[in-house]
Structure formats: structure tokens, C-alpha cells
């Protein structure tokens, strides 16, 4: 099966339809080159200081550099991209709300082997979510060009309904080749993995993912974003990164207060039963 590419002018309904059907697609040239350049510059010192992974799955010659909310102001445009958030809301509509799950610059160095083929929703302790219940919506933004040779993400479009199985191999996948600034969108159910890098340059992809707000976040935003930086973010962004209740009562503070008050101060109680998205 091939991986569909849509233009940046694609409507959210169409993107959502392809995402449900195939489990993945690319939106070409979704962000401009200058924004990509600024993010790469802002992240460069942190990437340089990041060691390789500690196991084969995370990749011993792959660097995973997080905390983009705190470290890269220019990345906020990607994290809050209106098309991506619209489609995420549609995919995760069974839950009351969703939140930022993780931000991670993934730098696959030359001569890296391919990552094993997996589902991202296995992060939730391999719980077998119902086939029609999506818990994750994921992006990988190409911060360098993605080619088959430099380790473009490999995917099995249409694999969402297959049983859980560690045995899939790269031969069953296609590479998400895309230009710098393009965005790979994929669900938590589709089989995929980082590709082997057979080139002499590093492949950089910015993995920004969202999950239903009744599950735990992979990257702990409360500790990754220092309080003094959190205070500078607007209310909608704070809610997106986790300062909200995840369902009827999940995540309130002390006397049933809205988690936003931890940052903004004030003593008014939230309306218990926050049923609006
Ligand atoms: O870097 C990539 O292309 C994919 C990484 C990935 O799938 C993961 O780390 O879960
Ligand atoms: Fe993955």
C-alpha cells in the first residue's frame, strides 16, 4: 500500500478521512523553511548535548531531545498547528479532551540500523485498546529532508487492524519520503519504525504527539517546562500541555481546583464536571 501525500491546503475532513483509512499520510510543505531553520538553531545546543539511546529500540546512534515547549519557542507554531489540532480532535473524539503527549527531536545518525516495527500505543503497557478507539495522534515533522537513504520513517499503511505482533519487518513497509517542512501524520495503531540511515548525514525529525487526556503523558510536561516558562504561556497552550482535567475529575488540584490555577493563582473552584472539550 502506498502512503498518501496531501497538499497543505487540504481540508481537515479529508486529512481525517485518509488518516482513519490508512493510519498515516504526509502533508507536504506544511511549515516554511525559516521556521524549520529557527527550530533547528534553537535546538542545536540541546541536540549536541544529548547522548545516544540506551537500547536498540531507542537507537544507540539516535539522539532523542525533548522539552521543545521550554527550549524552542519557534516549535510552538508546530505544536499548536491549527490543521493538526483539528484533525487530532477528530481522531480522538471518543475522549472528552486530548493533550500534548510528547515533543522529541529524533536525530538518526549515519549508519544507524532501522528501528523495530511497532505501534506507538504499545507505550501504554501494551493495553489492547478497542480497534475503533484511538488514543494517540502523532506527527513527525521533517526538519531535514526525509529520504529512504537517510532513515525516513517506515510505515505499513492500512495496518491499524492487524493483531499486535512484534514480528513485522522492514520489507513490509514503505518510507515516508518528504521534503523539509512536511509533516507525517500517523495514528497510535499503525505499524511503523525509524528507518536505517545509510547516508553520511543525520536525519532530523520532530516527533510531536497527542493523546487522550485520561492517559498519562509520555513526556512529563509539568517537570519538562519550568514554572517560570509555563507562566509565560497563554491559557489555551497551558491546557494543551496538560493544565486541565482529563475527564470529569482527573487531575484537579487540592480542593477540586482547576489545574490552571497552579500557574495563574486564584482560589475559585473549577466547575466540577468539566464536560466541555
Ligand atoms: O524517528 C522515526 O522516524 C520514528 C521513531 C518512532 O517511531 C518512535 O520512536 O516511536
Ligand atoms: Fe514509533
Domain architecture of the chain: domains with CATH: 5-244 (2.60.120.620), 250-277 (no CATH)
Report which ligand 1 atom has the smallest distance to the Cα of 58.
9
Task: Name every protein residue with a CB atom under 6 angstroms from any ligand 1 atom.
Answer: 106, 115, 120, 140, 153, 192-194, 205
Using the CB atoms, write b or e for 235-252: b if 16+ within 10 Å: eebbbbbbbbbbeeeeeb
Is residue 268's pLDDT more than 60? Answer: no
Q: Which residue has 501494551 as its cell numbers?
A: 126
Of 151, 273, 241, 141, the closest CA to residue 203 belongs to 151
Residue 267 has what pLDDT?
A: 56
Q: What is the pTM of this model?
A: 0.96
Residue 8, judged by CB atoms within 10 A of its CB (0-12, 13-18, 19+), counts as middle
Per-residue pLDDT reduced to its tens digit, 123-176: 999 999 999 999 999 999 999 999 999 999 999 999 999 999 999 999 999 999
Residue nearest to atom 5 of ligand 1 (CA): 194
Residue 272 has what pLDDT?
A: 46
Residue 45 has what pLDDT?
A: 98
Per-residue pLDDT reduced to its tens digit, 177-226: 999 999 999 999 999 999 999 999 999 999 999 999 999 999 999 999 99
What's the mean per-residue pLDDT of the chain? 95
Among 140, 156, 183, 185, name the best residue to mutate to test ligand 1's pocket (greatest count of ligand atoms within 8 A of Cβ): 140
- Helix crossing, 82-91 with 12-22: angle to 10°? 50
Of 194, 235, 196, 229, the closest CA to residue 110 belongs to 196
The protein residues having their C-beta less than 5 angstroms from ligand 2 (an ion) are 120
* Rg from Cα positions in the chain: 18
User: Ligand 1 centre from 268 Cα, in Å?
Assistant: 42
User: Ligand 1 centre from 153 Cα, in Å?
Assistant: 7
Cα 15 to chain centroid distance, Å, stands at 16
Handedness of CA 80, 98, 276, 254 (dihedral sign): negative
**H/E stretch holding 85:** helix 82-91
Per-residue pLDDT reduced to its tens digit, 12-61: 999 999 999 999 999 999 999 999 999 999 999 999 999 999 999 999 99
Per-residue pLDDT reduced to its tens digit, 176-190: 999 999 999 999 999
Ligand nearest to the CA of 115: 1
Amino acid at each position: 500500500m502506498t502512503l498518501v501525500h496531501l497538499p497543505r491546503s487540504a481540508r481537515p475532513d479529508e486529512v481525517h478521512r485518509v488518516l482513519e483509512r490508512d493510519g498515516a499520510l504526509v502533508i507536504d510543505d506544511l511549515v516554511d523553511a525559516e521556521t524549520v531553520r529557527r527550530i533547528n538553531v534553537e535546538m542545536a545546543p540541546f541536540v549536541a548535548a544529548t547522548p545516544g539511546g540506551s537500547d536498540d529500540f531507542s537507537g544507540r546512534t539516535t539522539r532523542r531531545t525533548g522539552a521543545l515547549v521550554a527550549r524552542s519557542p519557534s516549535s510552538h507554531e508546530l505544536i499548536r498547528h491549527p490543521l493538526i489540532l483539528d484533525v487530532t480532535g477528530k481522531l480522538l473524539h471518543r475522549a472528552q479532551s486530548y493533550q500534548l503527549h510528547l515533543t522529541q527531536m529524533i536525530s538518526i545518525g549515519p549508519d544507524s540500523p532501522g528501528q523495530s516495527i511497532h505501534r506507538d500505543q504499545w507505550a501504554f503497557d501494551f493495553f489492547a485498546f478497542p480497534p475503533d478507539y484511538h488514543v494517540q495522534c502523532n506527527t513527525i515533522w521533517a526538519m531535514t529532508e526525509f529520504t529512504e537513504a537517510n532513515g525516513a520513517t517506515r510505515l505499513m499503511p492500512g495496518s491499524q487492524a492487524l493483531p499486535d505482533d512484534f514480528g513485522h519487518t522492514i520489507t513490509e513497509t514503505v518510507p515516508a519520503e518528504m521534503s523539509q517542512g512536511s509533516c507525517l501524520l500517523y495514528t497510535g495503531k499503525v505499524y511503523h519504525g525509524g528507518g536505517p540511515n545509510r547516508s553520511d548525514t543525520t536525519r532530523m525529525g520532530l516527533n510531536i504527539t497527542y493523546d487522550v487526556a485520561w492517559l498519562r503523558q509520555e513526556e512529563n510536561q509539568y517537570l519538562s517546562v519550568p514554572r517560570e516558562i509555563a507562566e509565560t504561556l497563554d491559557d489555551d497552550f497551558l491546557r494543551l500541555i496538560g493544565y486541565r482535567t482529563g475527564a470529569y475529575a482527573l487531575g484537579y488540584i487540592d480542593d477540586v481546583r482547576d489545574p490552571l490555577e497552579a500557574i495563574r493563582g486564584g482560589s475559585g473552584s473549577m466547575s466540577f464536571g468539566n464536560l466541555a472539550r
